[in-house]
């Protein structure tokens, strides 16, 4: 069977990680988040991580060559169903993906920016795994502690309000054209809303039918 590759795009803090987790729970996808990959590389102090760190801290995009190489490694590992979270975010990244990998669907999460700014101030993460919590929406069992490892939770350096503003600006300038690219190709599925659980009900219905459509194609 041909692999089914889906993208999760949309503004920072729009719920890509949260909805990605629901998709993995209900469908057999491998979830690859470029943000998580970069944070792992920073923690390992790899050459890519060292180069990426200061871009991330300023709310700017990491250079295309670094990201394209990281994603190429993940694509070589293969999967029958692959979910790319946060990639592509620039026109050159989209062109490089087009050249190597047929994409079945681009799932775009369209969340009001005011909601995003509030959410990111409340986000706590487990650094090594990328597990994400927030005290109002998805609290850990014990405040400040990761459910699975017992490690202390931390806040992402780039969730500081002025950096969030920079990330939203970067999104408007560099990533919106990517959304238009997939709209023109006829594979964009956009979901508007403010609550991830409600949005996910619609995403799930979409995936149920799109995966069937894909499997039925010659």
**Residue 50 annotated among the catalytic residues of the structure:** no
Q: In which element (H, E) is residue 31 found?
A: strand 30-33
Write out the binding residues for Mg ion, residues 15-54 only, by CB under 5 A: 16-17, 35
Angle at 60 between CA 57 and CA 64, to 5 degrees: 120
Paired sense of beta strands 30-33 and 4-10, if any? unpaired
- Least Å distance, CB 171 to Mg ion, is 13
Annotate 178-191 with DSSP letters as a single string: HHHHHHHTT-EEEE
Residue 117 — φ and ψ, nearest 5°?
A: -60, -40
CB nearer Mg ion, residue 10 or residue 35: 35
**Residue 184 annotated among the catalytic residues of the structure:** no
CB nearer ligand G5P, residue 1 or residue 45: 45
**Six-digit token pair at 143?**
């405040």
Cα distance between the two ends of the chain:
10
* Angstrom distance (rounded) from CA 12 to CA 21: 16
CB nearer ligand G5P, residue 153 or residue 207: 153
DSSP-assigned letter for residue 160: S
Active-site entry in 81, 89, 119, 131: 89
- Least Å distance, CB 35 to ligand G5P, is 2
Residues at the site binding ligand G5P, with contacts judged by CB under 6 A:
12-18, 33-35, 38, 55-56, 59-62, 67, 86-89, 93, 119, 122-123, 132, 134, 136-138, 158, 167, 195-196
- Least Å distance, CB 73 to Mg ion, is 19
| Nearest one of 104, 122, 131, 112 to 199, comparing CA atoms | 112
Which of Mg ion, ligand G5P, none has residue 195 at its interface (CB below 5 to 8 Å by kind)?
ligand G5P
- Least Å distance, CB 167 to Mg ion, is 11
**Six-digit token pair at 122?**
């409340």
- 88 lies in the site for Mg ion, by CB under 5 A: no
Active-site entry in 21, 39, 119, 167: 167
**Residue 123 annotated among the catalytic residues of the structure:** yes
CB nearer ligand G5P, residue 51 or residue 210: 51
* Angstrom distance (rounded) from CA 147 to CA 161: 26
* Site for Mg ion, rule CB under 5 A: 16-17, 35
Q: Which residues are catalytic?
A: 16, 89, 123, 156, 167
């Amino acid at each position: 069977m041909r692999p089914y590759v889906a993208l999760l795009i949309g503004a920072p803090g729009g719920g890509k990680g949260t909805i990605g987790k629901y998709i993995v729970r209900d469908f057999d996808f491998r979830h690859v988040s470029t943000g998580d990959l970069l944070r792992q590389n920073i923690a390992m102090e790899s050459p890519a991580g060292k180069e990426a760190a200061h871009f991330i801290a300023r709310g700017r995009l990491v250079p295309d060559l670094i990201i394209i190489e990281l994603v190429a490694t993940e694509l070589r590992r293969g999967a029958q169903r692959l979910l790319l979270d946060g990639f592509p975010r620039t026109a050159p990244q989209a062109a490089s993906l087009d050249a190597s990998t047929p994409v079945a669907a681009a799932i775009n999460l369209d969340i009001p920016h005011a909601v995003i700014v509030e959410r990111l101030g409340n986000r706590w993460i487990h650094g090594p795994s990328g597990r994400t919590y927030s005290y109002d929406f998805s609290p850990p069992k014990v405040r400040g502690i990761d459910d699975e490892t017992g490690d202390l939770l931390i806040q992402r350096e780039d969730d500081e309000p002025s950096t969030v503003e920079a990330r939203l600006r970067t999104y408007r300038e560099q990533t919106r054209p990517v959304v238009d690219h997939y709209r023109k190709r006829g594979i964009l599925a956009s979901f508007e809303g403010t609550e991830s659980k409600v949005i996910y009900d619609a995403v799930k219905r979409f995936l149920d039918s799109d995966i069937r459509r894909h499997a039925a194609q010659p």
